[in-house]
């Protein structure tokens, strides 16, 4: 991952986690978890369907069918770059939402145990 992607991920996570905690305090948490789950599934779905799952290697002219004209190849390659540019932020947001879920699940199931630990004083 690039440094810019890591910073984007951390900022997205921080914003989404703070928003999640603020709204969960005022509303029923289950509905907000469902909303985040739907957004997560949609972002991952769009990423894989529209973005073709980010192939690991760049698609080159040589990997395209030889019967395609130069214009068809250029159009296809430019469309791949456009899709990658559009779906990349969706992946970062989906990863951030997934991390928010992981944090929430850990705090739901192990919150009492975690609260027993005091960073500066050891166990209570």
Residue 69, SS3 per DSSP:
coil
Please tell me the chain's helix, strand, coil percentages from 3-state DSSP, rounded to the nearest 5: 75, 5, 20
Angle at 21 between CA 97 and CA 27, to 5 degrees: 110
16 has a pLDDT exceeding 70:
yes
pTM score, two decimals? 0.69
Q: Provide the token pair at 75.
A: 């159009």
Instruction: Specify the pLDDT at position 122.
Output: 53
Of 77, 71, 44, nearest to 58 (Cα)?
Answer: 77
87 has a pLDDT exceeding 70:
yes
- Which range has the worst mean pLDDT, 16-20, 58-62, 118-122? 118-122
Q: Provide the token pair at 35.
A: 């909303």
Residue 118, SS3 per DSSP:
strand
Instruction: Specify the pLDDT at position 11.
Output: 92
Q: Under a CB-based contact definition with an 8 Å cutoff, are residues 94 and 46 in contact? A: no
Give the position of tokens 């192990």: 110
Tens-place pLDDT, residues 57-80: 677 778 788 888 889 888 888 888
């Amino acid at each position: 991952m690039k440094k810019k992607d890591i910073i984007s991920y951390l900022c997205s996570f921080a914003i989404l986690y703070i928003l999640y905690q603020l709204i969960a305090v005022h509303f029923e948490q289950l509905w907000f978890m469902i909303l985040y789950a739907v957004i997560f599934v949609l972002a991952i779905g769009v990423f894989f369907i529209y973005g073709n799952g980010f192939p690991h290697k760049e698609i080159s002219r040589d990997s395209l069918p030889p019967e395609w004209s130069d214009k068809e190849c250029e159009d296809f390659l430019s469309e791949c770059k456009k899709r990658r540019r559009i779906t990349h932020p969706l992946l970062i947001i989906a990863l951030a939402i997934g991390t928010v879920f992981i944090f929430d699940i850990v705090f739901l199931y192990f919150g009492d145990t975690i609260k027993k630990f005091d960073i500066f004083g050891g166990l209570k």
